[in-house]
């Protein structure tokens, strides 16, 4: 079904259409343009999308948004980024969907994917979500612009690394339900303390639709701060967490031998027992957040439980990859997309419960500011608790952890992914469980590909 016509794009962006055309998708990265996509030629500090118009149309683009004349079918505007936001506003204005905004220091993308699976599970339901981790000032409007008009549920992820960013993004998304997954040290380079991070995440509530629902982690030390942030904007505040005092809580949870957890949850006065396919207590918390949202939008809780039982790991966020080694194979837990102290501890706790010998390839955690050395060194007990027999530490910022592990765990400390790959290949044995985790900028996804047999 057609997503946008040239006339609709021109009306939304106050632009001029050079020709009649229709598009089925939207992209601003020319490498991702497919058949009948709208290519938005964004102009940035380092590149100009107008240089890639021929490439985009060579790949099948149906039209473009441009700010300079072009021979390709287009809508010409004064500012292509402002036009992308205008198209996002138009997409939001034309839908009758229940819109869910998701933010948090950890668990945003995983919870967003789980929510989408839970809401899309019902037959005939049209659900929409942010793709990948498109959660910033360009990713959020892109995700909105891609939303079909007949969407019934939309799950939009929103991220930030500076105060004020979410305050703007939430005005585009205008959620009926706003979820904060957790507050943890992340991007601390840009914030004086964790309370300031909580305040920045709490900005999501400012965009709530009248009568909307704020969903808040009960177990967070910043719970009351988030509740205070939500009160002026939310018609209803719901808490979730492992503590039984939460509105949506785990009455009981049990780790399963095959991985994952069996959870007995209490949602208000109702009980629901289900399995979470992904291992770790952090996933039990994520699942409770999913149930809180599903209940808030009036969707089917039983189907949500089935979806959680079937949910696979995402590349870079818990996917399990077979690694061929001499005379057998090892299992790699791919957490290469990102890392902060809280998510490092959570995934090391998952590794601790894996059978076999444990190997950890840990990349440095970035954007931690003056506390970086302390945060890195503070992981030593978690590495030891995970029964790691061999650690490969990647990046200069890992020096404090290397010093804290000296004489306690066998490790190597290398400067980059290329050397880490060689050391990891030499270390891994058949039957090993291998955790790979670090900040995205370290590039550990290349190591995962290399270990799995792809290009490094």
CA atoms within 13 A on the CB side of 233: 24
Query: What are the structure tokens assigned to 429, written together?
Result: 């044995």
Question: Are residues 220 and 163 part of one domain?
Answer: yes
> pLDDT 10s per residue in the chain (456 long)?
799 999 999 999 999 999 999 999 999 999 999 999 999 999 987 889 999 999 999 999 999 999 999 999 999 999 999 999 999 999 999 999 999 999 998 889 899 999 999 999 998 999 999 987 788 999 999 999 999 999 999 999 999 888 999 999 999 999 999 999 999 876 667 788 899 999 999 999 999 999 999 999 999 999 999 999 999 999 999 999 999 999 999 999 998 877 889 999 999 989 999 999 888 888 999 999 999 999 999 999 999 999 999 888 778 888 889 999 988 999 999 999 888 898 899 899 989 989 999 999 999 999 888 889 999 999 999 999 999 999 999 999 999 999 999 999 999 999 999 999 999 999 999 999 999 999 989 999 999 999 988 443
Give backbone dihedrals phi and psi of 325, rounded to 5 degrees, phi first. -135, 165
Question: Are residues 329 and 305 part of one domain?
Answer: no
The string of pLDDT tens digits covering residues 48-97 is 999 999 999 999 999 999 999 999 999 999 999 999 999 999 999 999 99
DSSP secondary structure of 402-451:
HHHHTTTS-EEEESSHHHHHHHHHHH--TT-EEEEE--GGG-HHHHHHHH
Question: Are residues 202 and 299 part of one domain?
Answer: yes
Is 414:420 a contact under the CB 8 Å cutoff? yes
Report the Cα 383 to chain-centroid distance in Å. 24
CATH of the domain at 14: 3.40.1390.10
Question: Are residues 415 and 344 part of one domain?
Answer: yes
259 lies in some domain: yes
Question: Are residues 62 and 144 part of one domain?
Answer: no
88 lies in some domain: no
Taking alpha carbons only, the member of 145, 136, 172 closest to residue 37 is: 145
Question: Are residues 347 and 211 part of one domain?
Answer: no
117 lies in some domain: yes
Number of C-beta neighbours around residue 76 at 10 A: 19
Residue numbers of the domain that contains 50: 4-80
Torsion on CA atoms 78, 84, 86, 91, rounded to nearest 10: 150
Question: Are residues 111 and 63 part of one domain?
Answer: no
Determine the Cα–Cα distance for residues 146 and 126; give it in Å rounded to an integer: 13
CATH of the domain at 350: 3.90.190.20
Question: Are residues 152 and 106 part of one domain?
Answer: yes
Determine the Cα–Cα distance for residues 21 and 440; give it in Å rounded to an integer: 38
51 lies in some domain: yes
Question: Are residues 270 and 131 part of one domain?
Answer: yes
pTM: 0.83
The string of pLDDT tens digits covering residues 131-143 is 877 889 999 999 9
- Structure confidence at residue 455 (pLDDT): 42
13 lies in some domain: yes
Determine the Cα–Cα distance for residues 141 and 91; give it in Å rounded to an integer: 9
Determine the Cα–Cα distance for residues 7 and 9; give it in Å rounded to an integer: 5
Of 310, 335, 367, which marks where a domain is finished? 310
- Structure confidence at residue 456 (pLDDT): 39
- Structure confidence at residue 79 (pLDDT): 96
298 lies in some domain: yes
Question: Are residues 158 and 32 part of one domain?
Answer: no
Of 289, 310, 331, which marks where a domain is finished? 310
Question: Are residues 336 and 238 part of one domain?
Answer: no
- Structure confidence at residue 187 (pLDDT): 61
Residue 285's contacts (CB-CB under 8 Å, 6 or more residues apart) are: 107, 181, 182, 217, 219, 240, 241, 242
Question: How many domains would you assign to the chain?
Answer: 3
Binding residues: 104-110
Checking DSSP bridges between strand 16-17 and strand 74-76, what pairing results, if any?
antiparallel
Residue position matching structure tokens 């790991």: 313
87 lies in some domain: no
Residue position matching structure tokens 């090391």: 348
Stated as kind and residue range, the H or E segment containing 274 is strand 270-276
86 lies in some domain: no
DSSP secondary structure of 189-226:
GG-SSHHHHHHHHGGGGGGPPTT-EEEEETTSTTHHHH
Stated as kind and residue range, the H or E segment containing 76 is strand 74-76
CATH of the domain at 263: 3.40.1190.10
Question: Are residues 227 and 131 part of one domain?
Answer: yes
Binding residues for ATP: 104-110
Of 53, 80, 107, which marks where a domain is finished? 80
CA angle 61, 66, 69 (to 5 degrees): 105
């Amino acid at each position: 079904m057609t997503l946008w016509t040239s006339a609709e794009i021109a009306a939304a962006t106050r632009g001029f259409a050079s020709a009649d055309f229709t598009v089925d998708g939207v992209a601003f990265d020319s490498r991702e343009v497919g058949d009948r996509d709208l290519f938005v030629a964004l102009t940035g500090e380092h590149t100009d999308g107008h240089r890639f118009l021929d490439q985009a149309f060579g790949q099948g683009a149906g039209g473009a948004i441009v700010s300079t004349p072009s021979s390709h079918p287009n809508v010409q505007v004064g500012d292509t980024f402002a036009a992308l936001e205008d198209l996002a506003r138009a997409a939001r204005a034309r839908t009758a969907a229940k819109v869910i905004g998701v933010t948090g220091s950890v668990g945003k993308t995983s919870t967003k994917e789980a929510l989408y699976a839970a809401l899309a599970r019902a037959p005939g339901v049209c659900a929409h979500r942010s793709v990948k981790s498109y959660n910033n000032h360009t990713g959020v409007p892109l995700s909105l612009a891609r939303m079909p008009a007949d969407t019934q549920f939309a799950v939009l992820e929103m991220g930030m690394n500076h105060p004020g960013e979410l305050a703007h993004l939430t005005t585009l998304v205008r959620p009926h339900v706003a979820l904060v997954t957790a507050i943890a040290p992340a991007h601390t380079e840009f914030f004086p303390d964790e309370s300031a991070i909580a305040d920045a995440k709490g900005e999501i509530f400012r965009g709530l639709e009248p009568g909307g629902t704020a969903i808040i982690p009960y177990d967070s030390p910043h719970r009351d701060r988030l509740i205070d942030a939500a009160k002026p904007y939310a018609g209803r505040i719901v808490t979730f967490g492992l503590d039984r005092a939460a509105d949506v809580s785990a009455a009981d949870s049990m780790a399963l031998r095959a991985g994952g957890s069996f959870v007995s949850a209490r949602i208000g006065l109702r009980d629901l027992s289900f399995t979470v396919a992904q291992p770790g207590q952090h996933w039990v918390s994520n699942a409770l957040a999913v149930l809180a949202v599903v209940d808030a939008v009036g969707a089917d809780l039983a189907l949500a439980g089935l979806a959680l039982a079937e949910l696979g790991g995402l590349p870079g966020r818990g996917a399990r990859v077979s690694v061929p080694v001499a005379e057998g194979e090892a299992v790699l837990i791919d957490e290469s997309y990102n890392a902060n102290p809280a998510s490092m501890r959570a995934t090391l706790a998952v590794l601790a419960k894996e059978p076999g010998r444990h190997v950890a390839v840990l990349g440095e955690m970035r954007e931690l500011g003056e506390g970086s050395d302390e945060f890195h060194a503070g992981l030593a007990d978690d590495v030891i608790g995970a029964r790691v027999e061999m650690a490969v530490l990647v990046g200069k910022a890992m020096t404090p952890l290397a010093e804290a592990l000296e004489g306690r765990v066998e490790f190597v400390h290398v400067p980059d992914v290329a050397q880490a790959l060689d050391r990891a290949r030499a270390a891994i044995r058949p039957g090993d469980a291998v955790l790979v985790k670090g900040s995205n900028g370290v590039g550990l996804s290349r190591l995962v590909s290399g270990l799995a047999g792809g290009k490094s």
